[in-house]
């Protein structure tokens, strides 16, 4: 059974990775922030009594379900927005206060400005190529190589077989390698 502090430490340790995973899925920082926050609330609300060892898999499954729910809601909202747009000719112009929120980066000391720029360019290229992957490949790739989950854990979190996870990861890595090689990036 996880204590309140253990749950808090767990959520703090996965916050950035979960956000990046949600950004890859939703392709929108604001939506990703909402998705991660909803997933964390659901974990804390419904599964706080589970052992600490079970929290990573539970959180990944909850996060994937919240992402799927986000797209379902978005589909319905877009349908109604499209249908009702003919009735209301103007835009509402509401601003989102989260637009100005900035994520703090890692501090990199001892590197020259050229090295920092080159690293940032490579990371942006990798990030852009990961975002181009099909959703299931991206999901498997992020869980296996970013979240460092094993094949069995990833299969449970994705709700598919271990063979499917291996196939998605293989296709994702081959696609990424080819795309990065085409851009002249070798890792």
Does pTM surpass 0.75?
Answer: no
- How many domains does the chain divide into? 2
Contacts of 48 (CB under 8 A, 6+ apart): 2, 4, 7
Q: Looking at the structure, do residues 75 and 116 belong to the same domain, yes or no? A: no
**Do the domain assignments include residue 14?**
yes
**Do the domain assignments include residue 181?**
yes
Instruction: Report the pLDDT value the prediction gives residue 89, as an integer from 0 to 100.
Output: 43
3-state secondary structure of 111: coil
Instruction: Report the pLDDT value the prediction gives residue 168, as an integer from 0 to 100.
Output: 94
pLDDT digits (tens, 9 = 90+) for 56-101: 889 999 999 999 888 888 776 665 555 444 444 444 444 443 343 3
**Do the domain assignments include residue 95?**
no
| Residue pointed to by tokens 């978005």 | 74
**Domain carrying residue 6:** 1-84
Q: CA 24 → CA 27, 37, 64, 111, 137, distances in Å?
A: 5, 16, 12, 28, 11
Q: CA 138 → CA 14, 28, 122, distances in Å?
A: 18, 15, 18
**Do the domain assignments include residue 102?**
no
């Amino acid at each position: 059974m996880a204590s309140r502090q253990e749950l808090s430490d767990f959520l703090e340790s996965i916050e950035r990775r979960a956000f990046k995973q949600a950004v890859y899925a939703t392709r929108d920082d604001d939506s990703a922030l909402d998705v991660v926050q909803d997933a964390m609330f659901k974990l804390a609300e419904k599964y706080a009594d589970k052992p600490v060892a079970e929290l990573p898999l539970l959180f990944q499954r909850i996060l994937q379900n919240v992402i799927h729910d986000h797209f379902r809601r978005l589909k319905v909202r877009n349908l109604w927005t499209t249908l009702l747009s003919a009735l209301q000719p103007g835009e509402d112009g509401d601003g989102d206060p989260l637009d100005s929120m900035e994520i703090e980066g890692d501090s990199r000391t001892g590197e020259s400005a050229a090295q920092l720029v080159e690293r940032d360019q490579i990371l942006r290229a990798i990030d852009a190529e990961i975002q181009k992957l099909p959703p299931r490949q991206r999901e498997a790739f992020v869980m296996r190589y970013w979240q460092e989950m094993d094949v069995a854990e990833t299969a449970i979190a994705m709700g598919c077989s271990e063979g499917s996870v291996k196939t998605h990861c293989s296709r994702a890595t081959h696609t990424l390698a080819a795309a990065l090689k085409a851009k002249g990036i070798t890792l």
